[in-house]
Amino acid sequence: MIGHIGAALASALLGACSGPSETTNLTQCDVSLFVLGVAQDGGKPQIANPDDPAWADPSLRRLATSLALIDRRSDTPKRWLFEATPDIKEQLQRLDAAAPVDRRSGLDGIFLTHAHMGHYTGLMLLGHESAGAQNISVYALPKMADFLIGNGPWSQLVRYHNIILAIMEADASEDLAEGIRVTPFIVPHRQEFSEVAGYRIDGPDQSVLFIPDIDSWEDWDATGTRIEEMIASVDVAYLDATFYANGEIPGRDMSGFPHPFVAHSIERFSGLAVEEKTKVRFIHMNHTNPLLNPKAQERRTVMDAGFNIADEGEEICL
């Protein structure tokens, strides 16, 4: 079941968690995935873009891509983040509204995909200069863990026990609670500092695929993994939508950019059954991506083709 609550209503997140044909009270959503951000690493508006209308219109602003996994089956909810973004401060505030806790930071763990700016740099706010967190588990694949250990200021977080590294193995599941497990897998994407992970997130009743960054679906084909098979294995798939199409950045040939254009994904997935298309929710949109404009024709094109676009505040019951 998928519900949506607009970001402007983040302080009143006791609304509905609804699916395509039914609605249920959010308190019945014992285990859920909550969307905290949908933009590319720099968010929207992005630095050094003074003409972006989002500066003047807060309703157009979007935070860097992040998800929260919430387990409400005890008196104090358990909460895990996927990505530690530069917007982590506001995202934790939204998470507190959705699933309040009385613990400092209230995080049971953070899952990182890779060492690109928008996916891990929020860790700095866990340090003694800010949150002064204690022993928060940070789940990372081996090269990502080595990067954090071997480079400041991240190494100081480890040394001061603000974070504890939980080193994962690709394709090996992490059991977080009864009926909840997370499985990392390797995806082809720029690996300047670490390998790049995607995640399968399994709850008691539903499962989600999270791939915010990948070079191309065809590069993954070459490794023996087809995205169509991955989509078929889950109930919802959050997929890389960094750029809509070549030409959206004026004056640049984008044909070699290491992301699948949304237009290409729509074409590739055109043969999927209707119920498979509806699983796809495009996420991680660059500030230039017209899908971030609620009035853009491209949004209608995506929806008319049978796919969906991730929104901040939406919640999936797992």
pLDDT band at 201 (very low <50, low <70, confident <90, very high): very high
Burial class (CB in 10 A: 0-12, 13-18, 19+), 56: exposed
In whole numbers, what is the pLDDT of the chain averaged over residues?
A: 88
Q: What is the mean pLDDT of residues 107-127?
A: 92
201 touches 207 (CB < 8 A): yes
pLDDT number for residue 65: 98
pLDDT in tens, 157-178: 999 999 999 999 999 999 999 9
Residue 46 has pLDDT above 70, yes or no: yes
Residue 48 has pLDDT above 50, yes or no: yes
What domains sit in the chain, N to C, each tagged with a CATH number? 2-7+18-47+63-317 (3.60.15.10)
Q: What is the mean pLDDT of residues 257-280?
A: 93
To which residue do tokens 């933009």 refer?
39
pLDDT number for residue 188: 82
Residue 236 sits at φ, ψ, to 5 deg, of: -140, 145
pLDDT number for residue 177: 97
Q: What is the mean pLDDT of residues 243-258?
A: 74
pLDDT number for residue 269: 97
- Between 188 and 48, the more confident residue is 48
Which of these, 211, 250, 239, 262, lies nearest to 310 by C-alpha position?
239
168 sits in the region (left: phi over 0; alpha: psi -120 to 50; else beta) called beta
Residue 104 has pLDDT above 80, yes or no: no
Q: Is the peptide bond before 45 cis (omega within 30 degrees of 0)?
A: yes
CA-to-CA distance for 106 and 199, rounded, in angstroms? 22
Which pair of structure tokens corresponds to residue 62?
């979007």
Q: What is the mean pLDDT of residues 29-39?
A: 96
pLDDT number for residue 4: 42
Q: Which helix (H) or strand (E) holds 115?
A: none
pLDDT number for residue 128: 83
pLDDT number for residue 24: 34
Percent of the chain residues topping a pLDDT of 90: 72
Q: What is the mean pLDDT of residues 37-66?
A: 94
pLDDT in tens, 66-101: 999 999 999 899 999 999 999 999 999 999 999 999
**Residue 177 carries which side chain, given as an amino acid letter?**
A
Percent of the chain residues topping a pLDDT of 70: 88
**Dihedral sign, Cα of residue 116, residue 168, residue 135, residue 147:** negative
- Between 198 and 106, the more confident residue is 198
pLDDT number for residue 303: 97
Residue 248 has pLDDT above 90, yes or no: no
Q: Which helix (H) or strand (E) holds 232?
A: helix 227-232
Q: What share of the chain is helix, strand, coil (3-state, %, to 5)?
A: 30, 25, 45
pLDDT band at 245 (very low <50, low <70, confident <90, very high): confident
The answer to which of 5-9, 231-235, 304-308 has the lowest mean pLDDT is 5-9
Its pTM stands at: 0.89
pLDDT number for residue 193: 77
236 touches 307 (CB < 8 A): no
